């Protein structure tokens, strides 16, 4: 119940949750762990983060700042991308272009050791074109 209060916005108005969305961050991290085909225990060994910290994150608890920094560096995630409704209106308008989403996708692709640089560039081009064609236009 507390997890829902921390990570959900008030009302169903389509807005991102206020503050740091730990659940969305954990889900993005989990996708990267799956893509890397490693275990959570291996992630703990590679990053020096205790397995208990990763377990607590899976239960909806927020990591401490040092763990967040290390995990973000390892995964190529920007923690600021998981903070909602705290940006200045001018920044929010800039983000409507999808630049942040596309940047996050590019980071994940670049961190994949199975993709050579030319494959990453090709996938980025495909995703950017598809995003441009499929995104909603402002009403």
Q: Are residues 104 and 77 in contact, defined by beta-carbon separation less than 8 angstroms?
A: yes
Q: Cα Rg for the chain, rounded, in angstroms?
A: 16
What burial letters (b/e) apply to 69-88, b meaning 16+ CB within 10 Å?
ebbbebbbbeeebbbbeeee
pLDDT band (50, 70, 90) for residue 1: very low
Mean pLDDT of the chain: 78
With a cut of 70, say whether residue 68 has pLDDT above it: yes
Of 89 and 18, the one with more pLDDT: 18
With a cut of 60, say whether residue 108 has pLDDT above it: yes
Would you say how long the chain is, in residues? 139
pTM score, two decimals? 0.56
Of 2 and 136, the one with more pLDDT: 136
Pick from 2-16, 70-84, 125-139 the range whose average pLDDT is largest. 70-84
Q: Are residues 109 and 123 in contact, defined by beta-carbon separation less than 8 angstroms?
A: yes
With a cut of 60, say whether residue 128 has pLDDT above it: yes
pLDDT at position 39 is: 95
Domains of the chain (ranges, CATH numbers): 17-86 (1.10.260.40), 87-139 (no CATH)
pLDDT at position 99 is: 63
Helix (H, G, I), strand (E, B) or coil at 21: coil
CA distances from 29 to 25, 105, 108, 139 (A): 6, 12, 10, 33
pLDDT at position 19 is: 86
């Amino acid at each position: 119940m507390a997890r829902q209060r921390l990570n959900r916005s008030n009302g169903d108005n389509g807005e991102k949750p206020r503050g740091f969305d730990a659940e969305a961050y954990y889900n993005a991290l989990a996708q990267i762990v799956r893509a890397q085909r490693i275990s959570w225990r291996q992630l703990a060994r590679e990053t020096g983060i205790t397995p208990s910290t990763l377990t607590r994150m899976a239960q909806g608890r927020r990591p401490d700042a040092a763990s967040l920094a290390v995990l973000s560096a390892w995964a190529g995630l920007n923690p600021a991308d998981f903070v909602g409704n705290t940006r200045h209106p001018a920044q929010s308008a800039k983000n409507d272009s999808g630049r942040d989403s596309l940047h996050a996708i590019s980071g994940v692709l670049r961190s994949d050791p199975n993709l050579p640089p030319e494959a990453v560039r090709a996938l980025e081009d495909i995703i950017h074109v598809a995003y441009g064609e499929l995104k909603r236009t402002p009403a």
